[in-house]
Chains A and B, each alone.
Chain A
Amino acid sequence: MQTLRITLCAAAMTVAFAANAAEVEVLHWWTSGGEAKAAGELKKMLEAKGDKWKDFAVAGGAGENAMTALKTRVVSGNPPAAAQIKGPAIQEWGDEGVLTSLDDVAKADGWDKVLPGVVINTMKYKGHYVAAPVNVHRVNWLWVNPELLKKVGAKAPTTWDAFFKTAEALQKAGIQPVAYGGQPWQDATVFETVLLGVGGVDFYKKTLVNLDQGALKSATMVKVLETYKKIKPLTDKNSAGREWNLATSMVINGKAAMQFMGDWAKGEFLAAGKVPGKDFLCVAAPGTANAYTFNIDSFAMFKLSNKDAEKGQKDLASVLVSPQFQEIFNLNKGSIPVRLGADMSKFDECGKQSAKDFAADSKSGTLVPSFAHGMAVHSATQGAIYDVVSQFWNDDNMTAKAAAEKLAVAAKTM
């Protein structure tokens, strides 16, 4: 109640400031180191086109706070020109009837030719482009501290059997095998990676994308859940509530050997002055070498009443997809360009590997949307499944079978 009231007050107040326009106002949450630098580049490129950039950065909560701010702005009839929205959320905003079409920009810049099919589908609402993609993150990575593995004579594991064997050896040597952050989205990130590795691409699509009831309750799912839970003894007790970057720094500092995390973790390694391939390894998570869970950041564009601002909005869309911006942005962010056949010469080993796999998996159809990062299902369903996964992880009395039943119920949330 209290919060609702405050939000509505804020909405009423923003109406008062609506008069000032003709600038491109961009809502984003790129506020940490490399990301902020990337946003700065975007501003420069846009200003080169003669548009004014108005920063609307809302930090924190993996975009949750930004979404709250965005809602109040849209409700008050004064949306920003563009906002960082991705995956099925683009469709949800499309349903609200507030997004504008970018078809003319897409046609002029030939988006149909340079973007992969799965990306195009995500960016369109009812056949029209409403959003511009900026990057591709791969989620199914395993980050490894090679020095610790060397101590027990192990290599980066490629199968789950090898993974648990290595972990056992590490534990015997007094090394914590897995760095883990116990927050719902991180629980879900590891869960989807295990599911992809144990169940395979088809099973992933059936369960986390199409929410097939039979598959969710199947024996394979029970096996996935059991494997997932087997990771828990490999982590430390203090993992509850830990931020992902703190878990990453445990791998960097040699306090833990491995971490399951998307490629934004690379930024932490690089910031600590570590060299990919030497000080740390990025390998596909066990059993997922021939699959790719993608997480694509994009900007959705809102209908504006001001014609001048519309021109800036179109320029912004064009800049976002341009090869120059894609390269400079992704070098800073740790992800890879979304354009097919982009020049990867300036990227590091992990980036090159990611781009190669992205192209290969795009051809073989083993590119799957990341469930944990809001690319696969609507936020309500995603949240309900998050709840079950976190509960299963934290509650040692819950059986895998019971959890599978609960997953099936949660998947019905509309």
Chain B
Amino acid sequence: MSSPTQPAQYGFAERWLPRLVLAPSFLLTLIFIYGFITWNGYLSFTSSRLLPSFNWAGLTQYHALFALERWWVAVKNLFIFGGLFIGGAMAIGIALAILLDQKIRAEGALRTIYLYPMALSFIVTGTAWKWMLNPGLGLEKLMHDWGFTNFTFDWLVNSDMSIYTVVIAGLWQSSGFVMALFLAGLRGIDDSIIKAAQIDGASLPRIYWKIILPALRPVFFSTLMILSHIAIKSFDLVVALTGGGPGFASDVPATFMYAMAFTRGQMGLGAASATMMLMTVAAMVVPYLYSELRRSRNA
């Protein structure tokens, strides 16, 4: 039991200790994230080539970037990949979660199986799928060996389709994770609401569509946030699976940025593309944060 004078002493520590403990990480974040974001932004306005330089070049790098076909291919691929990856992972994840929620046998084992791909790194996923999708090594060869000689599946080496192989591998990796998030959400819903709806004569699909999924709104938002940042920064999966190829057909902005800044000696252009990526993320995250913060203030 403490004497009445002690709280004042604790008060000093209580007030300063958290700040002292947080200071190093705060400082590091300030320098290594925000400081370098600013520096990158500055570099995008310079004529930097091999090494960073400080010759002001105005918007030249952005003009060059927007005139480059490869950049627009990368942007288009990001939208194809992002759209299909986020939409697909959500759809598959929700479907799996609902099916697993039907009080089935061996649910624990099934859940682990679906969640397991998440434990792999994208490099492993990419390499494994590269082998499976390679026409002379994987699926196509297997079908040929089984006698289906007309079967072709050459998306990996077809410049129009290679980005979709990235989608396939991405879905395989992330759907189980989405399933886990939604399963947790489903378990959190009060049974009595569902029972009440059943008494009112609502069918099962109707219950899911009108009651349960709307109640999972917060899960939707957090899943969307996680999946979209995975989509935008996707780099390792593309590098391992297609190497951005054939040619640059499956390039995404992250691989584009790396190629320009680090292998082609066009650091200014790379910095400009990195800034564009940051702006894309900001355009999605800022309105969301704004609405969330406003809601919590109003609450």
Contact = CB atoms under 8 A, between A and B. Distances in A.
A378 interface: yes
B248 A380 contact: no
Interface in B244-265: 245-249, 257-259, 261-265
B263 A67 contact: yes
A379 interface: yes
Contact of B50 (A71, A390, A395): A71
A241 B243 CA distance: 8
A394 interface: yes
A182 B265 contact: no
Interface in B227-285: 233, 235, 242-243, 245-249, 257-259, 261-266, 271, 274, 277-278
Interface stretch (B19-27, B154-162, B172-180, B192-200): B154-162
B37 A75 contact: no
Interface stretch (A4-12, A147-155, A165-173, A220-228): A4-12
B286 to A, nearest CB: 17
The size bracket of the interface on A is 35 or more
Given A71-B50, A71-B51, A3 B265 contact: no
A9 B160 CA distance: 38
Interface residues of B, number: 43
B249 A394 contact: yes
Contacts of B247: 184, 187, 387, 390-391, 393-395
Nearest to B67: A409
B264 A383 contact: yes
A237 B246 contact: no
Interface stretch (B87-95, B132-140, B203-211, B217-225): B132-140
B49 A238 contact: no
Given A5-B33, A394-B246, A394-B247, A96 B50 contact: yes
A407 to B, nearest CB: 12
A2 B52 CA distance: 17
Nearest to B36: A5
A184 B245 CA distance: 9
Interface in A366-384: 378-380, 383
B278 A240 contact: no
A89 B49 CA distance: 11
A37 to B, nearest CB: 28
- The winner among B64, B135, B265 for most chain A CB atoms within 10 A is B265
Contacts of A68: 262-263
B111 interface: no
Contacts of A1: 36-37, 40, 233, 257, 274, 277-278
Given A238-B157, A380-B265, A394-B159, A92 B50 contact: yes
B70 interface: yes
Contact of A390 (B51, B69, B246, B266): B246
- The winner among A3, A68, A74, A75 for most chain B CB atoms within 10 A is A3
Contacts of B277: 1
A61 B262 CA distance: 12
A330 B262 CA distance: 30
Interface in B2-59: 32-33, 36-37, 40, 49-52
Interface string A91-129: 011011000000000000000000000000000000000
B36 A4 contact: yes
A348 interface: no
Interface string B119-163: 000000000000000111100000000000000001011011000
19 contacts: A1-B37, A1-B257, A1-B278, A3-B235, A4-B261, A5-B32, A64-B262, A67-B262, A68-B262, A75-B51, A184-B247, A237-B135, A237-B157, A240-B157, A241-B243, A241-B246, A387-B70, A387-B248, A395-B249
